[in-house]
């Protein structure tokens, strides 16, 4: 059976995950504001006489890039929230696939990790 993390270790990782969750939520809000500005700018360029001009194309590319960054941030937020739920349930630090302990070094590097190195490498 895998070792359970000490209460102080769980609390430390829980606090770190909560801080990361807050940081990611703030980033998403910022991306949403930037996307809204890009949408408004794109709408304006669509009404211009030449919507295929370089400026309009550049804005569309920037908009697509922002969407991609936001999606990656949302994915990471989901991982952080999942890890937080594992902290609350007492399963944090245990590999979801094999049930073995996830090394502290891995959790330090990727606190939202739910798989040990061996299982993560098989994904």
Q: How far is the first Cα of the chain from the last one, in angstroms, to the nearest whole number? A: 23
| Structure confidence by residue, pLDDT tens digits, 81-110 | 999 999 999 999 999 999 999 999 999 999
Cα 110 to Cα 14, 27, 67, 92: the distances in Å are 13, 19, 24, 12
pLDDT digits (tens, 9 = 90+) for 18-29: 999 999 999 999
User: In this structure, is residue 121 part of a structural domain?
Assistant: no
77 has a pLDDT exceeding 90: yes
The verdict on residue 102 lying in a domain is no
Give the burial class of 29: count Cβ atoms within 10 A of its Cβ; 0-12 exposed, 13-18 middle, 19 or more buried: exposed
- Band of the pLDDT at 123, cuts 50, 70, 90? confident
Q: Is 110 a member of any domain?
A: no
The angle that helices 54-89 and 7-46 make with each other, rounded to 10 degrees, is 160
**Residue tagged 């049930």 (tokens):** 99
Print the domain residue range for 33.
7-92
What is the dihedral sign for C-alpha 93, 99, 105, 107? negative
Percent of the chain scoring above 70 in pLDDT: 81
Q: Is residue 123 part of a domain?
A: no
Structural domain contains residue 118: no
C-alpha span between 51 and 64 (Å, rounded): 16
Write the burial class of residue 13 (CB in 10 Å: 0-12 exposed, 13-18 middle, 19+ buried): buried
Q: Is residue 117 part of a domain?
A: no
Question: Is 109 inside any structural domain?
Answer: no
Domain assignment present for 99: no
The tally of domains found in the chain comes to 1
**Between residues 2 and 67, the one the model is more confident about:** 67
């Amino acid at each position: 059976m895998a070792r359970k993390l000490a209460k102080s270790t769980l609390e430390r990782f829980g606090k770190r995950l909560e801080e990361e969750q807050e940081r990611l939520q703030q980033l998403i809000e910022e991306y949403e504001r930037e996307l809204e500005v890009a949408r408004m700018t794109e709408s304006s360029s669509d009404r211009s006489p030449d919507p295929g001009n370089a400026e309009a194309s550049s804005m569309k590319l920037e908009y697509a890039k922002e969407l991609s960054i936001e999606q990656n941030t949302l994915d990471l937020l989901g991982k952080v929230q999942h890890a937080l739920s594992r902290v609350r349930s007492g399963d944090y630090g245990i590999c979801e696939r094999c049930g073995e302990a996830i090394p502290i070094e891995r959790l330090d590097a990727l606190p939202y990790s739910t798989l040990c190195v061996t299982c993560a490498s098989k994904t």
